[in-house]
Chains A and B, each alone.
Chain A
Amino acid sequence: MRTVLRSSPLAKGLLALLALAASSVAFAQGPSMQERVDGVLSEREDPGCDKLFALGARGLVRDALIAAVQTELPPWAPLRAASCLTELAVHDEQAWETVQDLLQRPDQPGFVLAILDRAHALPVERAELVAQHSLERAQQVRALQRTVPTRLKASPYPSVRALAPDGKAVGNGD
């Protein structure tokens, strides 16, 4: 009986209808939050965090951003995710934990610049912590030696600006 049903034109029609319905459901749902966040992060021109935050509830966007910092390609996507997580870290502890983790990843010093870029949005204690971590990394990484002090000097917080060394560059890393 089952064999007959499967091979009958009626059954085939039913299966086709079911498949069509399933694909319609998928189409109606559209891309997932993760896909939408990844899409915005992949734009060539900086879309700004507000475009990401407008995609849905902050918690959902935050979770997608936390996942996106693991993205490999395009290389700017994880940097942007880190920047926007820093903005969320003003009030969001999960975002702040991720930011702290990213600051200390030994093989990914580029996160320092992305986070420092938005550190002005953080409360002063957190901004100071970011600045201290950034300076430590700048000692070791050539690309950070001038960029980190420049960012620190632009901080709205006097205590962060005071951390910037007098000279233009720090460290002697490579």
Chain B
Amino acid sequence: MFRSLVPLCALAASAVSLCSCNPWDGEEQLGLRHQFRTITTGGDGYATARLPREEFSFTKFLLAARATDGEHTVYVDRVLDEEGTPLRRFLSDLEVNEWRTGAVADQALNHLNWPISDAEPEIRGEEIRVMLGAVDASRNLAPSVQLRLDVLQSDDSNFTSGTLGVNLIFAGDIADDDEMVDAFEEAGERLRAIFDPIELEIELSTSTWPEGTLPRPGFGAPQTWTDLTESTDNLAIDVVVVYEIAGASSDILGAAGSIPGGLLSSEKSGIILSATANAGPDLRFSDPEIDLLAATLGHELGHMVGLFHPVELSYDRWDALEDTPRCTSASTCQNLLGSNLMYPAALCSVNGCLTQHDITPNQASLIHRYTGVY
């Protein structure tokens, strides 16, 4: 009995191996290698994507995953080496109230950038595996769900300096509002100074889009968002500027599609910024307000490349980076982290606002590992 099982297992293993022999299709996109395929979740609701070294550089890649039926959400449970040993189990971070990647939260379209930071172990074997779960509307893992995977990979191994493209897109009537356009372009210029210290050059371009009624990325108008991000055919983060974000509270400053955000065109691949919320009651930008706008733009870009707030303002959740202290009160957090780019509140007084441009070495390390940084 025992002896007869062994060949069966071997047969099953070889069948799996045969099935995954050449499962990836590929093309060049945005100047990077884009590979894609579908996989299906097993009886336990999980599917494991295998990325062989012969086809993937392992230097850095951005995985996008979605259920093809549009009904299930997807999350990334863990990343494993070729032997199935977990390199990173993301739920472990949540158990200690830390966020390392937004990929651990189930979403209709999920993004994982790997490596996340310099804390990730080096891939030594011939394969890296990503284990994904499909979740149904009742929040249960769902079997037999087909997942579409898109992997954009980069061979750029320079993790200390690079360039990040930013497309500033004025959507709708605001494109004709010279005062607003000038303020955002000036904020874009000031953005360079924020990222200079970590040797990240911001390559800024501007364009327009006819439709100005846009919701937050991932919160509606999926086709419009997809078309808009398709229209900017370059390796850059799309930042859409509108007078007001549709379907959202008028005082929302802006929002990133996800943490990290996508680079291929999709309903979530971008940032939206509200001109009216950022300008304040007079709907005009003073010089200090343009400084704040630049910081807000930098903050949202930080989310897109994978940064979380170092602490949430409930003071009980943190990012998973080593050099952002785990503070637990307003006063301590303001002292330790208040000048950080990703601090979740502006700190202002009658004398002005604290400059929030600090980026820690671990944050810089993460930024340079984002696949969109070249």
As a 0/1 sequence over residues 168 to 209 of chain B, the CB contacts with chain A under 8 angstroms (1 = contact) are: 000011100100100000000000000000000000000000
The answer to whether B250 touches A74, judged by C-beta atoms less than 8 angstroms apart, is no
Do A75 and B213 contact each other (CB < 8 Å), given the known contacts A44-B345, A141-B283, A146-B172? no
Q: In A95-131, which residues have CB < 8 Å from any B CB?
A: 102, 105, 107-111, 113-114, 116-117
Q: Which chain B residue has the least Cβ–Cβ distance from A114? A: B250
Stretch from B60-68, B78-86, B125-133, B274-282 that touches the partner:
B274-282
When the two chains form the complex, which single residue of B180, B244, B289, B313 contacts A147, counting CB atoms closer than 8 Å? B244
The answer to whether A79 touches B281, judged by C-beta atoms less than 8 angstroms apart, is yes
Bound Cα distance from A169 to B281, whole angstroms: 21
Bound Cα distance from A79 to B244, whole angstroms: 13
Q: In A119-151, which residues have CB < 8 Å from any B CB?
A: 141-143, 145-147, 150-151
The answer to whether A78 touches B173, judged by C-beta atoms less than 8 angstroms apart, is no
Contacts of B275 in A (CB 8 A): 143
Bound Cα distance from A77 to B244, whole angstroms: 16
CB distance from A81 to the nearest CB of B (A): 9
The answer to whether A146 touches B243, judged by C-beta atoms less than 8 angstroms apart, is yes
Do A113 and B279 contact each other (CB < 8 Å), given the known contacts A42-B346, A79-B250? no
Could you list 20 further interchain pairs (A-B, Cβ under 8 angstroms) beyond the known A74-B353, A146-B173, A147-B244? A39-B345, A43-B344, A73-B288, A73-B289, A73-B292, A74-B348, A75-B281, A75-B292, A76-B278, A83-B250, A102-B281, A107-B282, A113-B244, A114-B251, A116-B250, A117-B249, A117-B250, A145-B173, A146-B243, A151-B250
A80 close to B (CB within 8 Å): yes
Bound Cα distance from A113 to B251, whole angstroms: 9
As a 0/1 sequence over residues 14 to 41 of chain A, the CB contacts with chain B under 8 angstroms (1 = contact) are: 0000000000000000010000000100
Which residues of B pack against A, CB within 8 Å? Answer: 172-174, 177, 180, 212-213, 243-244, 246, 249-253, 275-283, 288-289, 292, 296, 299, 313, 330, 344-348, 352-353
When the two chains form the complex, which single residue of B277, B283, B296 contacts A109, counting CB atoms closer than 8 Å? B283
Bound Cα distance from A52 to B239, whole angstroms: 30
The answer to whether A150 touches B213, judged by C-beta atoms less than 8 angstroms apart, is yes
Contacts of A42 in B (CB 8 A): 345-348
The answer to whether B276 touches A43, judged by C-beta atoms less than 8 angstroms apart, is no
The answer to whether B246 touches A150, judged by C-beta atoms less than 8 angstroms apart, is yes
A46 close to B (CB within 8 Å): yes
Bound Cα distance from A74 to B346, whole angstroms: 7
CB distance from B332 to the nearest CB of A (A): 13
Contacts of A113 in B (CB 8 A): 244, 250, 276
When the two chains form the complex, which single residue of B177, B244, B292 contacts A74, counting CB atoms closer than 8 Å? B292
When the two chains form the complex, which single residue of B249, B276, B279, B352 contacts A73, counting CB atoms closer than 8 Å? B352
Bound Cα distance from A147 to B180, whole angstroms: 15
A50 close to B (CB within 8 Å): no
Bound Cα distance from A117 to B138, whole angstroms: 32
CB distance from A22 to the nearest CB of B (A): 18
Bound Cα distance from A45 to B172, whole angstroms: 24
CB distance from A72 to the nearest CB of B (A): 8
Q: Which chain A residue has the least Cβ–Cβ distance from B275? A: A143
The answer to whether A78 touches B281, judged by C-beta atoms less than 8 angstroms apart, is yes
The answer to whether B278 touches A44, judged by C-beta atoms less than 8 angstroms apart, is no
CB distance from A55 to the nearest CB of B (A): 12
The answer to whether A44 touches B253, judged by C-beta atoms less than 8 angstroms apart, is yes
The answer to whether A75 touches B173, judged by C-beta atoms less than 8 angstroms apart, is no
Contacts of B347 in A (CB 8 A): 42
The answer to whether B249 touches A46, judged by C-beta atoms less than 8 angstroms apart, is yes
The answer to whether B344 touches A45, judged by C-beta atoms less than 8 angstroms apart, is yes
16 intermolecular pairs with C-beta atoms under 8 Å apart? A43-B313, A44-B296, A69-B281, A73-B353, A79-B251, A79-B280, A82-B281, A83-B249, A109-B281, A110-B276, A114-B251, A117-B249, A143-B275, A146-B173, A150-B244, A151-B250
Bound Cα distance from A160 to B275, whole angstroms: 25
Bound Cα distance from A73 to B278, whole angstroms: 10
Q: Which chain B residue has the least Cβ–Cβ distance from A43? A: B345
CB distance from B322 to the nearest CB of A (A): 24
The answer to whether A111 touches B281, judged by C-beta atoms less than 8 angstroms apart, is yes
Contacts of A147 in B (CB 8 A): 243-244, 250, 276
Do A76 and B277 contact each other (CB < 8 Å), given the known contacts A44-B253, A44-B299? yes
Bound Cα distance from A42 to B352, whole angstroms: 13
Contacts of B296 in A (CB 8 A): 44
Contacts of A69 in B (CB 8 A): 281
When the two chains form the complex, which single residue of A44, A80, A110, A169 contacts B283, counting CB atoms closer than 8 Å? A110
